[in-house]
Chains A and B, each alone.
Chain A
Amino acid sequence: MIGDWLDIGPVTQIEPGTARTLPVEGGEEIAVFHTMRNEFFAIVNLCPHRRGPLSQGIVHGDVVTCPLHNWNISLRSGQALGGDEGCVPTIPLRVDAGRIYLLRAAVIAPREARAA
C-alpha cells in the first residue's frame, strides 16, 4: 500500500496559506497547497485559463486565485469558480503521521488520459 503513495515530505515544509511546487520529469508540475484551515491539496500547477502558475496565487478558504488574471480555482475539485469555466487535474493526496503522500499513479499519469 505504501508503494502506491509517494512520500513528498513533512507537512511543516509548506506554510499554511501557501503552496510549493513539485516538478515531474516528462509530466506537468504539481502544486501542493496547505490551506489556512489546515488541509492539503495537490493540483496540476497550471491555470485552465492561460496556464498561470496556481502555486503562486493567494489562498483563501479552499480556493486559490490565479496570479495572472485572478481566476478562482477550487483546490478541492480543480474547477474554475464564479463565471469562469475550466478545470485543472487534481492529484489524490493524503496526510499520515505528519507526512504528505501523493497517489503515485496520478503523479506520473499522462494528463491527456485524465482530462474530462
Chain B
Amino acid sequence: MNATMTIEAGGSEAAMRQRLVVIGNGMAGCRAVEEILARDPQRFDVTIFGAEPRVNYNRIMLSPVLAGEKTFDEIVINGQDWYDDNRITLVSGDRVDHIDRDNKCVVAASGRTEPYDTLLIATGSDPFIIPVPGSDLEGVVTFRDLDDVDRMLAAADRGGDAVVIGGGLLGLEAAHGLSLRGMKVTVVHLMPTLMERQLDEAAGWLLKTELERRGQTILTGANTKQIHGIDGKVVGIELADGTRVKADIVVMAAGIRPATGLAKAAGLDVERGVLVDDHMVTSDPAILAVGECVQHRGLCYGLVAPLWDMCRSLADYVTEAPTGFEGTVTSTKLKVSGIDLFSAGDFSGSPGPDGELCEDIVMRDASRGVYKRVVVRDGKLIGAVLYGDTADGNWYFDLMRQESDVSDIREALIFGQAFASGGALADPNAAVAALSAEAEICGCNGVSKGKIVSCIEGGAHSVDAVRATCKASASCGQCTGLVESLLSITLGGEVESGPKTMCKCTTFSHAEVRRLIVEKGLREMPEVMQELHWTTPDGCASCRPALNYYLLCAWPGEYEDDQKSRFVNERLHANIQKDGTYSVVPRMWGGLTNPRELRAIADVVEKFNAPMVKVTGGQRLDIFGIRKEDLPAVWADLNAAGMVSGHAYGKSLRTVKTCVGSEWCRFGTQDSTGLGVKIERMTWGSWMPHKFKIAVSGCPRNCAEATIKDFGVVCVDSGYELHVGGNGGIKVRATDLLCKVATEEEALEHCAAFIQLYREEAWYLERTAPWIERVGLDTVKAALFDDPDTVAQLAARFRHSQQFMQDDPWAQRASGDRADLHNHIATVRPLEMEMAR
C-alpha cells in the first residue's frame, strides 16, 4: 500500500464508509479504534462487541479498585458519551460466538449478525485455571474483570481466609487487595521465587520478606494438588507435600492464556496466540487482531505498553500509512502501595546475536532495603531490576528503548541518572576529595570523612585497619569504595592491602562475613548477600558453600541447608571419582566392625558390581564405582545392617582412628578403642569448615597416629593428653599439646569444645593446622581456658548443634527423599523416550 494512493473518502455519506467490527471492548480493542479515529474519523462505521455489560475501562487498574484506592468510575477510559460522539455502536453483554469468513459477518450469542468489511479481533486473554480437582467449586474465582473484583469484595466483606494461587504480578496484587480488605491471605506460588519472570532471586527475596512483614503467608515452591470443598463450596487447598491451608475464597492467578478460540474456530492461523504480521494482519487479510490474544514474531505480550504500539501500527496500516510494529522491550511495576519494584527488558544474561556477553552491575543498600541490578551488553543497557528505589526506572527504560550507548557512563550507571549525568566519575577520587571534612562517609556507624582521614593519618593504612580503628565500612560495607578512595588520597598510593576478600562477590573477608552474620542476625543466603552488598546476584561457587556453612553453624536447627550450594560430594553423600561414579564408605565406629556389617558390605559389592573395595587410612572400607542413581539402594542395604554414612565425603567429622588399647594390648594404658567409639558417637555428622580427623592412641607409642590429626588423644597412665592441629597431608604438621586431663568425660568435653571453637572461628576450607598457625596456639588456649566456663559453654553449643546433625543422610535418601538428585529425568532411546522411574 502506498500513502499517496489514498482515495479521499470525503463527504459524510454512510454508504461510502467501510464497516469495521471489533470483537472485544477491552483496552486493546478500544485503543485501536481511538487510534484509527485520530487518523481518519470518516473511514469506518464502527461496531464494538463486548462480553462484559459495561463500557471500556482500564483493566490494569482493577487492583487499586480491589484495594479500595479507586472506584470503578475512576478507571473508566471511555464512557458512553465517547461511543455516542464517535457514532460507535457498542453491543455490550453479548458475546460473539462465531466468525463467518465466507459471508464476512460475525454472529453473537443473542443471534445478532453483524457484517464487516474489516474485522478486528481483540479478545484479550483468559485466566489459566490450573487443572486440579475442586477448581470448579463455588468460591474459586479468577482475577480478570470487574465481576471477579465484585466476587472478591463480597468474600472480603465476610472476612476469613483467602488463598491466592500464583505469585506473579496479578496474584500479588490480588493478595495485597484482599489483605487490605481484612482477609488473612496465603499466596501459593509454584516457583521458588515470586514474580520469577520479572525478578531475580535477590529481588524476589526482598519482596517476599516485605509481604511477610505485612502479614501475608508466602509459600514458594508450593504445588497445589487439590481444592477441597464442602457442599460445593471451597474450604481450603491441599499442596503436593500434604500441607493444607484453610480458605473461604481461592483466587486463581496462575497466569493468562491468549483467548484464541474464536479465531481458531474460524480457521485462522493460531499457535499460542493468533498469528499476526507487523501490521497486525492475521492469515485472512480482512481480519486484524491486536492485544493479548495475538502472537507477533513468536511473542505474546501480557503488558500494556506493547499493546499501545500494536494499536498504533494497526491504525497506521488501515489508514494506509503503514509503519509496522517490530516488537518491544517491556517494563513492569508492581502496583502494591509502599513497595517500589521495577523490572524491564532482559536480565537473564542472554548473549547478543553475535555472541556479545552480558555484564551485571549490582548495587545493594541494605540500610534502605535497596537492590538494583542493570545488565549491559555490547555497550547498551538491555535489562534492569530495581527494588526499593525505582526512581531511575524510567530513565533505564528509555536507555533500553533508545538502545543508547552507555559505555561512557557505565561506571556511574547503577547510581542513577543524576549521578551519571554529573560527569564527576572521570576520577572517582576527585569527587571524594571535594567532600567536606564533616561529610558522613559511613552511615551505619556515623563516621565523617574528617574522622576517617585522621584515623588514616594516625597509622591505619588499610581498609581493614580503618574498620578496626573507627568502624567506618565495618558494618554493611557499602562505603568501602569511599574509604579506599580516602586511603589513596591521604596516602598517595601507599595503601596496604588487607586480608583477602572471601571471593570476587564481596569486599568482606571470611572473618568479617562470619562476624556480621552473627552480629546482624542474618539467617538466609539472599539476606546475607543483600545486607553485605554482594556484587553478584547469586554469588559464585566459592562463596555459596562458605555462606551455607557459616549460616548452618550460626543458626543450628533453624537454617535450612541449601543443597544447591553444596559441593557434589556433600549433595550426594558420596565421593565423586574421576569417571563420574561414586565411592561409598559406611561408618565403622572407632574402626570396629562385625560379621553382619562385613556381609552387608560384601553383598553390596556383588549386587552393584562394585569393581573395587579398599581399606582406607581411616580404618574402614571404601566401595568404589557406584552410579549416582544406585546410591539410595546401596544405602538402604547398608542401613539394613545397622550402618550409617561415614561422611568420608564431607567438610565434616571423618573418622576416629583407634588402636586396640588396654583391652588387648600389653602396653595399653587406657581403653582407647572405647573412648574412640564414644568420641565418634558424639561428633559424627557435624559439619565443619573443612574435614576433621580424630585419633585415640592407647599409649605414647601412638599406633593410631594421633599426633597428625586435627584432634588427637594420647592415653598415658595418669590420664589423657589432648593434641590439636595436626595434619598428615601436603604439609605435614605434628600436633600441639593443648592440655592434659584426668578422665574420659573431660577428654570428651574438651574435644567438643575445641571442635566448636574451630567451627565458629575458622574460615571455610581452613583445616585446623593452618587455622592454628594463623591465629596462634596461645590464642586458641586463651579462648578455651582464660574463662573457666568457656569449655563447658562451647561443648554445650556443640551438643546443641549435634542434635540437628545426627540424622543419617543416607537413611533419608534411602527412604526416597530428594530422589530428583539421584534419578535421571528420562532415558532417550532411538525414536522413543522412556520416562524415568
- What 1/0 flags go to A51-66 for Cβ under 8 Å of B? 1110011111110010
Contact check, A6 vs B833: say whether CB atoms are below 8 A apart: yes
Of B537, B824, B828, which contacts A6 at CB under 8 A?
B828
Nearest Cβ on chain A to B594's Cβ, whole angstroms:
34
Nearest Cβ on chain A to B167's Cβ, whole angstroms:
13
Of B191, B350, B360, B572, which contacts A38 at CB under 8 A?
B191
Q: Does A36 contact B (CB under 8 A)?
A: yes
Of A15, A25, A37, which contacts B828 at CB under 8 A?
A25
Contact check, B350 vs A76: say whether CB atoms are below 8 A apart: yes
Q: What separation, in Å, do the CA atoms of A12 and B193 have in the docked complex?
A: 12
Q: Which of A9, A37, A59 has the largest number of chain B CB atoms within 10 A?
A: A37
Contact check, A65 vs B828: say whether CB atoms are below 8 A apart: no
Q: Which of B190, B201, B580, B827 has the largest number of chain A CB atoms within 10 A?
A: B580
Contact check, A13 vs B820: say whether CB atoms are below 8 A apart: yes
Q: Which residues of A contact B828 (CB under 8 A)?
A: 6, 22-25, 27, 30, 107-108
Q: Which residues of A (1-46) have their CB < 8 Å from a CB of B?
A: 6, 8-9, 12-18, 20-27, 30, 32, 36-39
17 more contacts with CB within 8 A, not counting A18-B821, A36-B564, A76-B351, are A8-B833, A9-B825, A12-B191, A14-B820, A15-B563, A16-B193, A21-B824, A24-B827, A32-B825, A39-B348, A50-B578, A52-B576, A58-B564, A59-B564, A60-B540, A61-B537, A76-B349
Q: Does A68 contact B (CB under 8 A)?
A: yes
Q: Does B571 contact A (CB under 8 A)?
A: yes
Q: Which residues of A contact B272 (CB under 8 A)?
A: 96-97
Q: Does B538 contact A (CB under 8 A)?
A: yes
- Nearest opposing residue in chain B for A27, CB measure: B828
Q: Which residues of A contact B196 (CB under 8 A)?
A: 38
- What 1/0 flags go to B533-558 for Cβ under 8 Å of A? 00011111100110000000000000
Q: Which residues of B (255-304) have their CB < 8 Å from a CB of A?
A: 272
Contact check, B833 vs A70: say whether CB atoms are below 8 A apart: no
Contact check, B201 vs A37: say whether CB atoms are below 8 A apart: yes
Q: Which residues of B contact A70 (CB under 8 A)?
A: 541
Q: Which residues of B contact A8 (CB under 8 A)?
A: 825-826, 833
Q: Does A92 contact B (CB under 8 A)?
A: no
From known contacts A16-B193, A58-B544, A59-B564, infer whether A51 and B580 are also in contact, taking CB-CB under 8 Å. yes
- What 1/0 flags go to B226-256 for Cβ under 8 Å of A? 0000000000000000000000000000000
Q: Does B617 contact A (CB under 8 A)?
A: no
Contact check, B580 vs A53: say whether CB atoms are below 8 A apart: yes
- What 1/0 flags go to B816-836 for Cβ under 8 Å of A? 000011011111111001010
From known contacts A20-B820, A60-B538, infer whether A36 and B200 are also in contact, taking CB-CB under 8 Å. yes
Nearest Cβ on chain A to B578's Cβ, whole angstroms:
7
Q: Which of B192, B350, B566, B828 has the largest number of chain A CB atoms within 10 A?
A: B828
From known contacts A57-B568, A67-B576, infer whether A38 and B541 are also in contact, taking CB-CB under 8 Å. no
Q: Which residues of B (335-375) have their CB < 8 Å from a CB of A?
A: 347-351, 355, 360
Q: Does B567 contact A (CB under 8 A)?
A: yes
Q: What separation, in Å, do the CA atoms of A2 and B316 have in the docked complex?
A: 35
Contact check, B826 vs A37: say whether CB atoms are below 8 A apart: no
5 residue pairs A–B, Cβ–Cβ below 8 Å: A8-B825, A14-B825, A18-B564, A51-B579, A96-B272
Q: Does B565 contact A (CB under 8 A)?
A: yes
Nearest Cβ on chain A to B502's Cβ, whole angstroms:
14
Contact check, B201 vs A25: say whether CB atoms are below 8 A apart: no
Contact check, B200 vs A37: say whether CB atoms are below 8 A apart: yes
Contact check, A15 vs B820: say whether CB atoms are below 8 A apart: yes
Contact check, B825 vs A37: say whether CB atoms are below 8 A apart: no
Q: Which residues of B contact A37 (CB under 8 A)?
A: 200-201, 347-349, 537-538
Q: Which residues of A (69-94) have their CB < 8 Å from a CB of B?
A: 70, 72, 76-77
Of B545, B563, B565, B824, which contacts A23 at CB under 8 A?
B824
Q: Which residues of B contact A26 (CB under 8 A)?
A: 830
Of A13, A65, A97, which contacts B541 at CB under 8 A?
A65
Q: What separation, in Å, do the CA atoms of A12 and B545 have in the docked complex?
A: 24
Contact check, B825 vs A67: say whether CB atoms are below 8 A apart: no
Q: Which residues of B contact A96 (CB under 8 A)?
A: 272
Q: Does B520 contact A (CB under 8 A)?
A: no
Q: Which of B200, B349, B829 has the largest number of chain A CB atoms within 10 A?
A: B349
Nearest Cβ on chain B to A115's Cβ, whole angstroms:
18
Q: What separation, in Å, do the CA atoms of A37 and B190 have in the docked complex?
A: 15
Contact check, B576 vs A68: say whether CB atoms are below 8 A apart: yes
Q: Which residues of A contact B537 (CB under 8 A)?
A: 36-37, 61
| Residues of chain B at the chain A interface (Cβ within 8 Å) | 190-193, 196-197, 200-201, 221, 223, 272, 347-351, 355, 360, 536-541, 544-545, 563-569, 571-572, 576, 578-580, 628, 820-821, 823-830, 833, 835
Q: Which residues of A contact B628 (CB under 8 A)?
A: 56
Q: Which residues of B contact A30 (CB under 8 A)?
A: 828
Q: Which of A18, A26, A36, A68 has the largest number of chain B CB atoms within 10 A?
A: A36
Nearest Cβ on chain A to B635's Cβ, whole angstroms:
18
From known contacts A36-B201, A51-B580, infer whether A12 and B190 are also in contact, taking CB-CB under 8 Å. yes
4 closest A-B pairs by CB: A17-B564, A65-B541, A56-B568, A67-B568
Q: What separation, in Å, do the CA atoms of A51 and B628 have in the docked complex?
A: 16
Q: Which residues of A contact B823 (CB under 8 A)?
A: 20
Q: Which of B221, B568, B578 has the largest number of chain A CB atoms within 10 A?
A: B568
Contact check, B825 vs A38: say whether CB atoms are below 8 A apart: no
Q: Which residues of A contact B829 (CB under 8 A)?
A: 25
Q: What separation, in Å, do the CA atoms of A110 and B539 have in the docked complex?
A: 36
Nearest Cβ on chain B to A82's Cβ, whole angstroms:
12
Q: What separation, in Å, do the CA atoms of A12 and B569 have in the docked complex?
A: 24
Q: Which residues of A contact B541 (CB under 8 A)?
A: 57-58, 60, 65, 70, 72
Nearest Cβ on chain B to A1's Cβ, whole angstroms:
9
Nearest Cβ on chain A to B177's Cβ, whole angstroms:
26
Contact check, A25 vs B830: say whether CB atoms are below 8 A apart: yes
Contact check, B192 vs A16: say whether CB atoms are below 8 A apart: yes
Nearest Cβ on chain A to B282's Cβ, whole angstroms:
19
Q: Which residues of B contact A97 (CB under 8 A)?
A: 272
Nearest Cβ on chain B to A91's Cβ, whole angstroms:
11
Contact check, A22 vs B825: say whether CB atoms are below 8 A apart: yes
- Nearest opposing residue in chain B for A59, CB measure: B564
- Nearest opposing residue in chain B for A81, CB measure: B357
Q: Which residues of B contact A65 (CB under 8 A)?
A: 541
Q: Which residues of B contact A76 (CB under 8 A)?
A: 349-351
From known contacts A12-B190, A23-B828, A37-B347, infer whether A67 and B536 are also in contact, taking CB-CB under 8 Å. no
Q: What separation, in Å, do the CA atoms of A23 and B539 have in the docked complex?
A: 30
Q: What separation, in Å, do the CA atoms of A6 and B690 have in the docked complex?
A: 43
Q: Which residues of A contact B539 (CB under 8 A)?
A: 60
Q: What separation, in Å, do the CA atoms of A24 and B821 have in the docked complex?
A: 18
Contact check, B825 vs A15: say whether CB atoms are below 8 A apart: no
From known contacts A38-B197, A56-B568, infer whether A62 and B827 are also in contact, taking CB-CB under 8 Å. no
Q: What separation, in Å, do the CA atoms of A30 and B355 have in the docked complex?
A: 23
Contact check, A61 vs B571: say whether CB atoms are below 8 A apart: no
Q: Which residues of B contact A9 (CB under 8 A)?
A: 825-826, 835
Q: What separation, in Å, do the CA atoms of A61 and B541 have in the docked complex?
A: 10
Q: Which of B538, B830, B835 has the largest number of chain A CB atoms within 10 A?
A: B538
Nearest Cβ on chain B to A9's Cβ, whole angstroms:
6
Contact check, A56 vs B830: say whether CB atoms are below 8 A apart: no
Contact check, A52 vs B355: say whether CB atoms are below 8 A apart: no
Contact check, A15 vs B567: say whether CB atoms are below 8 A apart: no
Of B190, B824, B827, which contacts A20 at CB under 8 A?
B824
Q: Which of B348, B830, B833 has the largest number of chain A CB atoms within 10 A?
A: B833
Contact check, A67 vs B567: say whether CB atoms are below 8 A apart: yes
Nearest Cβ on chain B to A58's Cβ, whole angstroms:
4
Q: Which residues of A contact B820 (CB under 8 A)?
A: 13-15, 18, 20
Q: What separation, in Å, do the CA atoms of A27 and B579 have in the docked complex?
A: 17
Q: What separation, in Å, do the CA atoms of A59 and B563 have in the docked complex?
A: 11
Q: Which of A60, A70, A97 has the largest number of chain B CB atoms within 10 A?
A: A60
Of B350, B564, B571, B580, which contacts A52 at CB under 8 A?
B580
Q: Which of A18, A53, A58 has the largest number of chain B CB atoms within 10 A?
A: A58
Q: What separation, in Å, do the CA atoms of A104 and B647 have in the docked complex?
A: 41
Q: What separation, in Å, do the CA atoms of A75 and B165 have in the docked complex?
A: 32
